[in-house]
Structure 1
Amino acid sequence: MMSERILAAMETAEQKAWDALARYKFYMFGYHAAHWVNLNRIGEFKRENPFGDLVKMARGYRPMPITATSSIELPSSIAEQGSLL
């Protein structure tokens, strides 16, 4: 009975986490993802984290360094507008 309620709460938390991420609500994604992880631990289900692939992708991400000498090239249409100002 209790484990069924926890599993239902886990499903809800996962749905809410993905929904939040899809809407760029990163704090809410973290809240619901952490809730799922906590419920999995409390229920002792040892289920695979549904966000595991996302975590692996984030760990492999390396942004390009931004330096003082970095330059940004504007599209010609925007550059032309700037010269008219």
Structure 2
Amino acid sequence: MLNVSVKAAIHIKSHILEIEFSDGHKQIVDFAPFIFSDGHPDYEKYKSESGFLTFEIVDGNINWDDYTMIFPVEDLYKNHIR
């Protein structure tokens, strides 16, 4: 995949974001299946919508709390988070 980065992320509802990439591609990603099935204690705070919305775009990626939760950009682009 080419060098693509996250340009913007807009909250749609619940744990769903519309992500815009540097090449103009947009992808709607539902993070709920990952957050609610992982069981990792660090992800508990993201189960609430307000906790989930604490993300920032840092260095071309979506980042929660200084890399507590982050996904490869390619996975976001393809809507295949795991």
Task: Normalising by structure 2, report the TM-score.
Answer: 0.23
Give the number of the structure whose residues are more often helix, by fraction.
1
- Structure number with the bigger relative contact order (C-alpha 8 A, sep ≥ 6) is 2
Give the number of the structure whose residues are more often strand, by fraction.
2
Rg (Cα) greater in structure? 1
